[in-house]
Amino acid sequence: MDLWTASAAEGFFQRKPDDGYDPKAVGLCLSGGGYRATLFHAGAIIRLNELKVLPRLSRISSVSGGSICAGILGMGWKTLTFVDDVATNLREVFVRPCIKATSRTLDIQVGIAGYLPFVSAGNYLSSLYDDHIFDGFRLRDLPAAPRFVFNATNLQTSGLIRFSRDTIADWKAIMCRDHKVSLADAVAASSAFPPVLAPLRLDLLEEKVEAPEGAVFDDPALRIRPVLVDGGVYDNLGLETVWKRCGVIIGSYAGFNMRSKPGNFDFGHLYPMVMSMTAAGVDWRERILVDLFQHILADGLPERRGVYWTADTAMEKFAKHDGWKPSKAALDRARDTPTRLQALDRDQQRTVIEAGYAFADAGVRTRLLPDAPPPDGPPDLPFDD
């Protein structure tokens, strides 16, 4: 049985033959979650590379801290050397830069700068990303395949705005092609968590911007300098740009569902109240994704194939958890790592990377590659001695 092809029949998302859906396309979704997400997904990508999955990917969709990870991968993709479908230089091209990026605290200085007059925190964050990670790299320099998509939220339209190699688009108001926008701007918009790191005001004055077909708002003022914040405000899983296009979905969520907390309402509950709104969006997307995996259509195939894990998933839920994996205590430490852009030490970095590696191994071998051998030990990480 081919576990890498979903149904081609009409379903919940596919309603016409020319909607861009490909039952064999493989999409990878990398959630938000600060530096924890960056390293958790880096660990997952290390294992996906070992399992020869990277060359299968058609689309990589990311949010917030996941966009830092995806941005580093996209920047180095053209220099990856694949031998027998395994990138032999992933360690140097991708893993080492992820470790370096998460060794520097950014959120404190960005938060302070955001209080200064005429300074937009998100734009300052972009300048720091450019200085320390992306070094002038532009979106148009990304590879044509796989398609990297960086997701942010447009406060002016309440819509999702998507950054990719050839387009910047918010279906409600914006279509911009052949642009010169930097990768740093895209990642900063995607990770501009309010209120400390937000907003990013994207300058499109010199770009050719049109209203897309079927736009909700045809207002030129919305196409000059959109005000953007973290993509997690709209879709913290990065699923929106993948599940309508790809038949096979691999979802990595570096967070977990909110815990219950008894007590009466007081001022201290305001932050949890706001976070619960984000959590509600994650919850219903999780339910839809699982339903898509389970829903059998007219041709006898599931509407979507794939796998989904969170930083709090019980490893025992995956039948193939027989290989090397961290202890339960280590997985808990990875899960509880703060979601800030605050420097992590080597032990913290290793713990989070190994957690993502283990979840990707157990999930993918259970759902997509049941005959793949388990890992003998933890990933070899490029920490300087």
| Per-residue model confidence as pLDDT tens digits over 248-268 | 999 999 997 656 566 655 555
Q: Do residues 199 and 229 make contact, with C-beta atoms less than 8 angstroms apart?
A: yes
Q: pTM of the full predicted structure?
A: 0.95
| Per-residue model confidence as pLDDT tens digits over 116-142 | 888 899 999 999 999 999 999 999 999
Cis peptide before 195 (omega within 30 of 0): yes
| Per-residue model confidence as pLDDT tens digits over 190-219 | 999 988 999 999 999 999 999 999 999 999
Residue 98, amino acid: C
Beta bridge partners of 168: 163, 176
Percentage of the residues of the chain whose pLDDT score is greater than 70: 93
CA proximity to 80, closest of 47, 55, 101: 55
CA distances from 285 to 62, 253, 280, 308 (A): 15, 12, 9, 11
| Residue 208, both tokens | 């050719």
Q: Look at residue 195 in the predicted model and tell me its pLDDT.
A: 85
Cβ-based neighbours of 42, under 8 Å, separated by 6 or more: 69, 94, 95, 98, 353, 356
| Per-residue model confidence as pLDDT tens digits over 333-344 | 999 999 999 999
In this prediction, residues 232-252 reach a mean pLDDT of 95
Q: Is the pLDDT of residue 306 over 90?
A: yes
- Which band of pLDDT confidence, cut at 50, 70 and 90, is reported for residue 271? low
Q: Look at residue 280 in the predicted model and tell me its pLDDT.
A: 77
Rounded to the nearest 5 percent, the helix, strand and coil shares of the chain are 40, 15, 45
| Residue 325, both tokens | 């994996």
| Residue 276, both tokens | 């619960």
Q: What is the mean pLDDT of the chain?
A: 93
Q: Do residues 360 and 48 make contact, with C-beta atoms less than 8 angstroms apart?
A: yes
- Which band of pLDDT confidence, cut at 50, 70 and 90, is reported for residue 2? confident
Residue 73, amino acid: L
Strand 147-154, strand 57-63: pairing: parallel
Q: Is the pLDDT of residue 95 over 90?
A: yes
Q: Look at residue 272 in the predicted model and tell me its pLDDT.
A: 62
Residue 170, helix vs strand vs coil: strand
Beta bridge partners of 153: 160, 229
As a dihedral over the C-alpha atoms of residue 146, residue 152, residue 158, residue 159, rounded to 10 degrees, the angle is -10
Q: Is the pLDDT of residue 88 over 70?
A: yes
